[in-house]
Amino acid sequence: MIDFKNVTKIYGGEVKAVDDITMSVNEGEFVILLGPSGCGKTTLLRMVNQLETITDGEINVNGQNVKEMDKIKMRRNIGYVIQSNGLFPNMTIEKNTMIVPDLLGWDRKKKRDRFNYLMDLIGLNPDEYRKRYPHELSGGQQQRIGVARAMASDPPVMLMDEPFGALDPIIREKVQDEFLTIQKEVKKTILFVSHDIDEAVKMGDKISLLRQGQIMQYASPTEMLHRPKNDFVSEFIGKDRVLRSMSLYTVNDLVEALGLKSKEEDIQDTKEITIDTSLRVALSMLLNKEADELLITDDQGEAHGSLTFDLIETFINREVRGA
């Protein structure tokens, strides 16, 4: 869907921001551009919708060379979200969200329906927010509107530059979760810039780790955590890679691999969690002594057994370390 072929970007004849990058993003894939500040993530992203010129090499979107496409037309067909949401203070939330449909000349009814649909998708009441202005919304809400706006004309490709970077950690987690749920439904092809390894591991189908404009490793989060390709990758992932990789698994993965213990009657200190909770969350609940055992239930509320610290340890040794 997005193909980078030997792409290079040199600013002002001297700063090599992107250095001979070749990679592809398949349709429906969620790919993270990860790396330290200044490694060229934003530049690489902005060359896709021609906000930056390409010094050398070529980028194809859907088999078409971006250089040969009409800039204005192609941008209207690619969702774009930036860190400071870039909402316009002079427009209502509805106007802000419907900018691209406006540019495309949609009729009023179609725009209204789309707005209602998108607001439901991001969990905000359309009628409550329609006539409000950006400054009346919290940072998290503004960022969600920024995402809705990028999806307004239902573009197949989305470019997102640290969209949740300015949010405080608790809100960020929440918005990330929401966005993952949305992505499950809409299945966009996403190129997403982040400098946060935890965010990358949690969100991405694949991670492209960059350093000084070059790809250090392009792989799935599991692959990268288990088989870092070089010292830079291992160092960037950090020592707590085992803990980190826990967020890749849900309780269900453990159940399938090991099964659960049957609940012991004499243990009082228990708590219920659902089977699709991430193992990282479950582990931290146990470590924080919120409970000695976690009772696992499924969507229907049916009990499956209980999860203990020992079980998680066994799972780590078998699945994570051993893999």
Partner 1 sequence: MMNSKKIIAYIVRITLWALVIAFFWWAISENMFDKIFNEPETFKGLLTAHIQLTVISAGLAILTSLPLGILITRPWFRKSEWLIVNIANLGQTIPSLAVLALAMSFLGIGMPTAIVALYVYSLLPVLQNTIAGLDSVQPEMKDAAKGMGMTPLQILFRVELPNASSSILAGIRTAVVLNIGTAALAYLIGGGGLGVWIFTGIQLYDNQTLISGAIPVTLLAVLVDFIFRGLQYVLVPKGNRLATKAVTD
Ligand X SMILES: Nc1ncnc2c1ncn2[C@@H]1O[C@H](COP(=O)(O)OP(=O)(O)O)[C@@H](O)[C@H]1O
Chain positions contacting Mg ion, by CB under 5 A = 42
Q: Which does 91 bind (CB under 5 to 8 A by kind): Mg ion, ligand X, partner 1, none?
A: partner 1
Q: Does 40 bind ligand X (CB under 6 A)?
A: yes
Of 249, 259, 257, nearest in space to 283 by CA: 249
Find the binder of ligand X among 7, 32, 42, 93 (CB under 6 A).
42
User: Which residues 101-140 are close enough to bind partner 1 by CB under 8 A?
Assistant: 103, 133-136
Q: Which does 100 bind (CB under 5 to 8 A by kind): partner 1, Mg ion, ligand X, none?
A: partner 1
Greatest extent of the chain over all pairs of C-alpha atoms, in Å: 72
Residue closer to ligand X, measured from CB, 45 or 74: 45
Q: Does 28 bind ligand X (CB under 6 A)?
A: no
Q: Can you tell me the distance from the alpha carbon of 246 to that of 259, in angstroms, rounded to the nearest whole number?
A: 17
Handedness of CA 276, 280, 282, 285 (dihedral sign): negative
Residue closer to ligand X, measured from CB, 11 or 117: 11
Of 224, 205, 203, 226, nearest in space to 215 by CA: 224
Find the binder of partner 1 among 9, 75, 188, 244 (CB under 8 A).
75
**β-pairing, 78-81 with 30-34?**
unpaired
Q: Does 76 bind partner 1 (CB under 8 A)?
A: yes
Stretch of 14-22, 70-78, 220-228, 262-270 lying at the interface with partner 1 (CB under 8 A): 70-78
Find the binder of partner 1 among 33, 47, 82, 225 (CB under 8 A).
82
Strands (E) across the chain are located at 2-11, 15-25, 30-34, 56-61, 64-65, 78-81, 157-161, 189-194, 206-211, 214-219, 270-274, 293-297, 303-307
Q: Can you tell me the distance from the alpha carbon of 144 to that of 131, in angstroms, rounded to the nearest whole number?
A: 16
Where does this chain bind ligand X (CB under 6 A)? 11-12, 15, 17, 35, 37-43
Where does this chain bind partner 1 (CB under 8 A)? 49, 51, 71-77, 80, 82, 84-92, 99-100, 103, 133-136, 149, 159
